Amino acid sequence: MEVLKKRHLKTEKEKRFASIINLGCPKNLVEAEKFAFYLRENGYGLCNLFNSSDVDLAVINTCAFIKSARREAIETINKVLYLKNRGICKKVIITGCYAEMFHSEIAEKFPEVDFICGKESIKEISSFLSIKREPANLFNRIPSTKFYSYLKVAEGCNRNCSFCLIPSIKGNFSSVPLDKLINEAKILSEEFEIKEFIIIAQDTTSYGKDLSYKDGLLRLLEKLSKIENLKWIRVMYLYPSINKNFLKNLLSIEKVVSYIDVPLQHCSKKILKSMNRPTNVIDFAEDLVSLREDFKNLSLRTTFIVGFPGEDESSFNELLRFLSKYKFDRAGFLKYSREKFTPAYDIPNQVDSKTKSERLKLAYQLQKKISGDIRKGFIGKKMDVIIEKISENGYAFGRTERDAPEIDEGVIVKGNSELFKDKLGEIVKVKMTASKDYNLIGEIV
């Protein structure tokens, strides 16, 4: 994803241009937005490298979570270096997780890269570019998304799941101080017209524990809810160590949408134990689905890994039965990626690639039916929808509070250009009239 300048126009003093290419998750996107702010404050105009003829600097913010992410990083580096060799780009910087963990490998494989940096990226880039680093302040981002923005509340992780590289790349869990987050949120809401904040971290559940905050996440959400122009708050990446009472308190906070995202990873106690994850998933799932009684529009999202070492036919069928019983609104599935430097790398009974692909397909087929049946249950209901895009043929596209951007489906809103002219970025009431593919269809009422 190319991170571009949103609000600032080129000035006479800007004679240098930089392009920021972001790879990976929303947590990476926040870092890319910080690079955008930093470079803009130091005299760079921001542009899209692939639509330009003369770029001074390209910054590639990489991911290294699994093999496919590293392949994407390598492919992107090759594309950018091709442009550098053609004289379109002068300097190339590689940063992010791939650069942090595989610095030597990148230096050997890509000698044309000018600079490689990891955790202290902005500080290191300052030194490399010989530019003065701006004094730290409580706001340092240029958002690249419209109407919603990610709010990264922490970095690192203390959980040590056996399949995950994150702790070895990012280090221990470290929360962003509360006052800094609130100030950042206020500016995003007031200056950039952000209507929704999406709370992210490797483990949002643990927010504030390292700072000795009592109920840190709930405290943060309560303060965010008081921001006047803000409409919705969505929490992602909860860890299944929380209880039902905590979730009820979270969902009861004003402006927090009825949406729970808790990656469960599996349901088999045997597999979860090998993953070094909580094994009481059945009890946790019972608590989750019971929340639907109090929160009628509640959307439950989770993620599972298929093909983890030791997952035999019986364990996989257990997962399918689990999906059929608890009927999550959304579920994502990942094929287990065997990663060096993780404990799971050496676990016996590795599952072959063909079997993993077959299981992934079966899991998605089942979940597609479950999600479709749930979606049809909203036909005839009136729901709030934020309008995010207007098509040339008069349709609009938006999301309800049940829909997270980029990963969930949304709502196709029928109408005409005149009707939608003043609705972009607004939350309107829509009556759902049909369901098609992965989307609901509705009309403004």
Q: What is the Rg, in whole angstroms, of the alpha carbon atoms belonging to the chain? A: 23
Rounded-to-integer distance, Cα 315 and Cα 311, Å: 5
Region 416-439: mean pLDDT is 89
Express the helix, strand and coil content of the chain in percent, nearest 5 each.
40, 20, 40
Among 319, 315, 323, 304, smallest CA distance to 349 is for 315
Percent of the chain scoring above 70 in pLDDT = 95
The confidence score (pLDDT) of residue 419 equals 79
Q: What is the CATH number of domain 148-376?
A: 3.80.30.20
Q: Cα–Cα distance between 351 and 311 in angstroms, integer?
A: 7
User: What is the Cβ-side half-sphere exposure of residue 252, based on CA atoms within 13 angstroms?
Assistant: 8
Lowest mean pLDDT among 56-60, 165-169, 272-276, 364-368: 165-169
pLDDT band at residue 438 using 50, 70 and 90 as cut-offs: confident
Q: What is the mean pLDDT of residues 260-266?
A: 98
**Closest Cα partner for 374 from 336, 341, 420, 327?**
327
* Token pair for 143: 């958002």
The pLDDT score that the predictor gives to residue 139 is 65
Local confidence band at 14 (pLDDT 50, 70, 90 cut-offs): low
Give the CATH number of domain 2-129; options: 1.10.10.10, 3.40.50.12160, 1.10.760.10, 3.90.180.10.
3.40.50.12160
Percent pLDDT > 90 in the chain is 82
The single residue listed with the structure tokens 């600079």 is: 115
Residue 8 DSSP label = P
What is the rounded average pLDDT of the residues 302-307?
98
In this prediction, residue 422 has a pLDDT band, given cuts at 50, 70 and 90, of confident
Please determine, for residue 134, whether its predicted confidence score (pLDDT) is greater than 60: no
What are the boundaries of each domain within the chain? 2-129, 148-376, 382-444
Convert 380-413 to b/e letters by CB count within 10 Å (16 or more is b). eeebbbbbbebeeeebbebbbbbbbbeebbbbbb
DSSP 270-302: HHHHHHT--S-HHHHHHHHHHGGGT-TT-EEEE
Residues 186 and 138: their CA atoms lie apart, in Å, by 11
Q: Tens digit of pLDDT for each residue in 371-392?
A: 999 999 999 999 999 999 998 7
Q: Stretch 193-211: mean pLDDT, rounded?
A: 97
Domain 382-444 CATH class label: mainly beta
- The confidence band for 131, taking pLDDT boundaries of 50, 70 and 90, is confident
Q: State the chain's mean pLDDT as an integer.
A: 92
Cα separation, 151 vs 63, whole angstroms: 19
- For 331-356, write each residue's pLDDT tens digit: 999 999 999 989 999 999 999 999 99
pLDDT in the model for residue 276: 98
pLDDT at 2 over 70: no
Q: Which string of DSSP letters, residue by residue, matches 223-234?
A: HHTT-TT--EEE
Whether the CA torsion 366, 287, 203, 372 is positive or negative: it is positive
Count CB-CB contacts under 10 A for residue 290: 12
Mean pLDDT of 249-265: 98
| Nearest alpha-carbon partner for 98 in 126, 66, 124 | 66
Residues found in the chain: 445
- Amino acid 417: pLDDT: 72
152: β partners: 200
User: Considering the entire predicted model, what is its pTM?
Assistant: 0.93
Residue 1 pLDDT > 60: no
| Alpha-carbon distance values, 416 to 13, 49, 395 (Å) | 43, 35, 6
